[in-house]
Amino acid sequence: MSKRVALVTGAGSGIGRASALVLAREGYAVGALGHSEDDLADVVREIVSDGGQAVLLKADISNESQMRGAAGELVERFGRIDAVIANAGINGVWAPIDDLTLEEWNNTIAVNLTGTFLTINTTVPHLKASGGGSIVVVSSINGTRTFTTPGATAYTATKAGQVAMVQQLALELARHHIRINAVCPGEIDTNIESNTSLRKEDETAIPVIWPDGQVPITGGHPGRSEDVADVIAFLASGKARHITGSPIWVDGGQGLLR
């Protein structure tokens, strides 16, 4: 049995991968969950080779039975769950509202919003059984601080919905000693662009000239996945014991420009 156990969704790449590695270094046994078995296997191997503990959990976050099974498998392996990092998500299709199809809308909602719900829904019983813990939801500056991304209606709706879910659940879960917070990254060096489809940008782009470089604190360069992972690890830890229901923007000031 491990003293602390964390579930990280979307652990195969980007912020999820960085979070899994940081949490493992902090002493957590990690359940690395996602749909790309090869990427997850690499993360698990890296954690184990560094002396940590990890298990590969292949699941679709929008599938209830798979998520329930993955949470159960993690508890069977390590005995408990103390931290849940709801990171997995997609950009989906960005298009004019009258060009966006219901299928495209539903797909983004299913992964980003329903997937977040299922991640929390299936793990909260285990957090309660552990006597409490921490949930960190990875949202975005889009839909929470900025609203100028061309055609990203479905995406921003899910990101705003995630923060609303965090704030709603903060009070509900407090009596169980479960904290829940959100991190809202700006431009980060992840591969999320690979699941983005941008259509008819000229019809939705905002005609504004931005200053050179979107991220002031880094001289215009994107932040690193580790910049977000370090905040996630803090929120998961006892050092954040008095923080709940809070969105934290990790964007280097980018959202203040837009």
* The two structure tokens encoding residue 114: 């329903």
Sign of CA dihedral 183, 246, 83, 70: negative
Q: Cα dist. 198→4, 155, 254 in Å?
A: 41, 12, 21
Is 28 a known active-site residue? no
Amino acid in the structure at residue 182: A
CB–CB of 176/129 below 8 Å? Answer: no
Single out the catalytic residue among 155, 163, 188, 234.
155
Q: Cα dist. 109→145, 148, 162 in Å?
A: 20, 20, 11
* The two structure tokens encoding residue 67: 């998520």
CA-based Rg of the chain, rounded to a whole angstrom? 18
Contacts of 141-145 with C-beta under 8 Å, sequence gap 24+, read 141/184, 141/185, 141/186, 141/249, 141/251, 141/254, 141/255, 141/258, 144/184, 144/247, 144/249, 145/184, 145/249, 145/251, 145/255, 145/258
Active site residues: 155
